[in-house]
Amino acid sequence: MNHEVKLKVLNIEKSFPGVKALDKIEFSVRKGTVHVLCGENGAGKSTLMKIINGIYQPDSGQILIDGVEVKIKNPIQAREHGIAMIFQELNYIPEMTIEESLFVGNWPKDRFGKVDWPEIRRRTLALLKAENLDYKPDMKLKDLTVSDIQMLEILKAISYQSDIIIMDEPTSAITNKEVEVLFKKIFELKARGAAIIYISHKMDEIFRIADDITVFRDGKVIDSKPKEALDIETVIALMVGRKLGNDFPKVEVPIGEPIMKITALNGEKFKDVHFEVKKGEIVGFAGLMGAGRTEVMRAIFGLDPIHSGEIAINGKPVKIKKVKDSIDQKVVMLSEDRRRYGILPVRSVRENISITNLSRFIKKGRLHSKEEIETVKYYCDKMKVKTPTYETNIASLSGGNQQKVLLAKWLITDPEVFIVDEPTRGIDVGAKYEIYKLISDLVIEGKSVIMVSSELPELIGMCDRIYVMAKGEIMGVLTKEDFTQENIMRLATGTKQNH
C-alpha cells in the first residue's frame, strides 16, 4: 500500500498562562498506518490533538492534509476535513440516549428539514448490530458503565467514515475482550487507508499496533521512529527523561489490627461480601469488568444503598447511608470516573482541593484564605501537581494532574481508610510511579488503602492481600506468596477458592 503522508503539522506552538504546552512541534502520520504518541501527562500530546481537532487554536504553525494547508477553527470543520477524535476524558450527557449521543451534531434530516428520528433509529440499530453490541437505542447513557460509554465513543468516531482518526487512551476504560474488538477495527481502518493517531501509556499495546512511535516530553518531540527501531525500555527512558528504578515503590510496614470489617454485605450488584482491612495494609480488589468491585466500594462510601450486612470501623458497627457518614468515619474514595464523580470542572485547583474540608478554613463565618492557600500549596507540593497557578481551572490540567488534585482533596480530610478505584487509569508511567509512592506514604503514616484495579501487575506490585470478585461475589483472597496473574485470573473467571 502507498503510505504517503496524510496529515502533517509544522512548527506548531501553543502557550497557556504560565506554561508553554507545545514548542515547535513537527509530526506527521501516513495513510494506512497507526502512529502512536507517547509521553507523560502534561507532555503536550492531548493539546496537539485538540489543535488538530479544532478545539484549540495554535499560536503559530501549520496543519497540512494531503499536502494542502488547512485552518481548523472548530470540531465541525475538523469533521469536514475527515478528522474524528475519541477522547480520553468521556464528555457525555448522562440523560442522553445512545441514539442521540451517536448522532449529536450530525443529525440526519428528512425532506422537511426536521431531524429524521426513524432514520437515526435505523442507523443506530445497524451500527450496534455490526459491532455485536447488545444495547437498546433508547437506553440512557447514565445507565451504562464507563466501559460501555467508551465503546460507543469509539463506534461514533468510526461511523463518521473519517480518513484521520485520533484515539486518546481509547482502552483506558474497556475490558480485554473489548480491546480485541477495537484492535480488529483498527486493522480494518488501516486496510481502508485511514491514518490513525493513537495515544497510549500501555507499552504492550503500543508495540502491538504501532507502525511509528513519537515520544513527547515537556511540549517537545524527543524522538520519532518506526516501531522496529525502538523497544519498551528505550521508550520509557525517552518519555520520563530519567530512570524510574523499581516500578512499584512498595514499602514493608508493620500491619496492625483490623480497622475495617465488612460482614455479609448485600447490595444491588453484590451479595454476601466479607472482608477486612488492617492498619497499614494495602488490600487489593481484582476482578473482570462487572464483577461488582466498584459497586461494593460505592456502597461502603455511601453512594449506593446497602440492602443488608454490617460495616464495622475500629471494632464498632457503623451506619453509612450517605457520603458524609463515610467521611465522618474517616473513610474516603477516589472514583474510577473522575470526570463524573471526581473533579468540579468549572472550579479552580484550589477550590477542588479545599472543598472537602471548608470548615477548617471558615471561622466565625469568614473564609481564612491565607490558611486555605497554604494548605492547598502543601498538598500540591506533596502530590507534585503541575499547574500554572492554584486558581487555574482544573479542567485545563492533564488527566494525571487532575488525579493528583483529587488525591490531595481527600488527603486534606486526614482519612484512615483510603479507597482508590482504578487510581492510575489513563495516567503515564512517571505519574503512576508518583501515585504508587503516595499510596506507600499513606501506609507508612499508618493509614490503610483499598485498591481496586484492572491492572494485575499493579495489584501484585503494591498489595499485601488481594480479594478477587466475580459476578458480585468474593471468590477468594490471596496472600503474597500466592500472587500470580494466573491465580488471580482463575478466581476472576468464577472458580471459587478452596478453603
Nearest to 294 by CA among 448, 480, 454: 454
Buried-exposed string 324-359: b where 16+ CB fall within 10 A, e elsewhere: eebbebbbbbbbbbbbeebbeeeebbbbbbbebbee
Q: What is the mean pLDDT of residues 4-18?
A: 88
Name beta bridge partners: 217. Answer: 220
Tens digits of residue pLDDT in 60-113: 999 999 999 999 999 889 988 999 888 765 667 788 888 888 887 778 888 888
Query: Grid coordinates representing 492?
Result: 476472576
Tens digits of residue pLDDT in 455-492: 888 899 999 999 999 889 999 999 999 998 888 888 88
Q: Is residue 420 a contact partner of residue 254, using CB atoms and an 8 Å limit? A: no
Beta-carbon contacts of residue 445 (< 8 Å; ≥ 6 apart): none
How many of the other CB atoms lie within 10 Å of CB of 260?
24
- CA-to-CA distance for 217 and 430, rounded, in angstroms? 11
- The pLDDT of residue 309 is 94
Nearest to 210 by CA among 197, 220, 219: 197
- The pLDDT of residue 494 is 67
Q: Is residue 27 a contact partner of residue 81, using CB atoms and an 8 Å limit? A: no
Q: In what order do the strands lie in the sheet with 220-226?
A: 83-86, 164-168, 195-199, 34-38, 212-217, 220-226
Helices assigned H by DSSP within 318-362: 323-328, 338-341, 349-354
Q: What is the mean pLDDT of residues 128-155?
A: 79
Q: Is residue 54 a contact partner of residue 61, using CB atoms and an 8 Å limit? A: no
Tens digits of residue pLDDT in 175-217: 777 788 788 888 888 898 999 999 887 777 888 999 999 998 8
Tens digits of residue pLDDT in 407-465: 778 778 788 999 999 888 767 677 788 788 888 988 998 899 999 998 888 899 999 99
Quickly state the pLDDT bin for 388 (edges 50, 70, 90).
Answer: confident
**What crossing angle do the helices spanning 429-444 and 399-411 adopt, rounded to 10°?**
10
Which of 160-164, 232-236, 395-399 has the least mean pLDDT?
A: 395-399
Tens digits of residue pLDDT in 351-369: 787 776 666 777 777 766 7
Q: Identify the CATH number of the domain defined by range 258-492.
A: 3.40.50.300
Pairing between β-strand 195-199 and β-strand 83-86 as defined by DSSP bridges: unpaired
| CA-derived radius of gyration, the chain | 23
The domain limits of the chain are: 5-94+145-240, 97-139, 258-492
Kindly state the DSSP code that residue 132 receives in the 8-state scheme: T
- CA-to-CA distance for 276 and 420, rounded, in angstroms? 16
pTM: 0.59
Quickly state the pLDDT bin for 33 (edges 50, 70, 90).
Answer: very high
Fold held by 5-94+145-240? Rossmann fold (3.40.50)
Amino acid at 148: D
pLDDT score of 15 more than 70: yes
pLDDT score of 245 more than 60: no
Strand segments (E) across 89-182: 164-168
- CA-to-CA distance for 166 and 323, rounded, in angstroms? 38
Amino acid at 289: M
Whether 5-94+145-240 and 258-492 share one fold: the answer is: yes
Beta-carbon contacts of residue 9 (< 8 Å; ≥ 6 apart): 25, 26, 27, 28, 48, 51, 52, 61, 62, 63, 64
Share of the chain above pLDDT 90, in %: 33
- The pLDDT of residue 1 is 47
Largest CA distance in the chain: 73
- The pLDDT of residue 41 is 64
- CA-to-CA distance for 3 and 149, rounded, in angstroms? 32
One DSSP character per residue, 263-303 reads: EEEEETTEEEEEEEEETT-EEEEE--TTSSHHHHHHHHTTS
- Mean pLDDT, the chain, integer: 84
- CA-to-CA distance for 233 and 38, rounded, in angstroms? 13
- The pLDDT of residue 338 is 60
Q: What is the SS3 assignment for 26?
A: strand
pLDDT score of 261 more than 90: yes
Q: What is the mean pLDDT of residues 138-157?
A: 78
Q: What is the SS3 assignment for 152?
A: helix
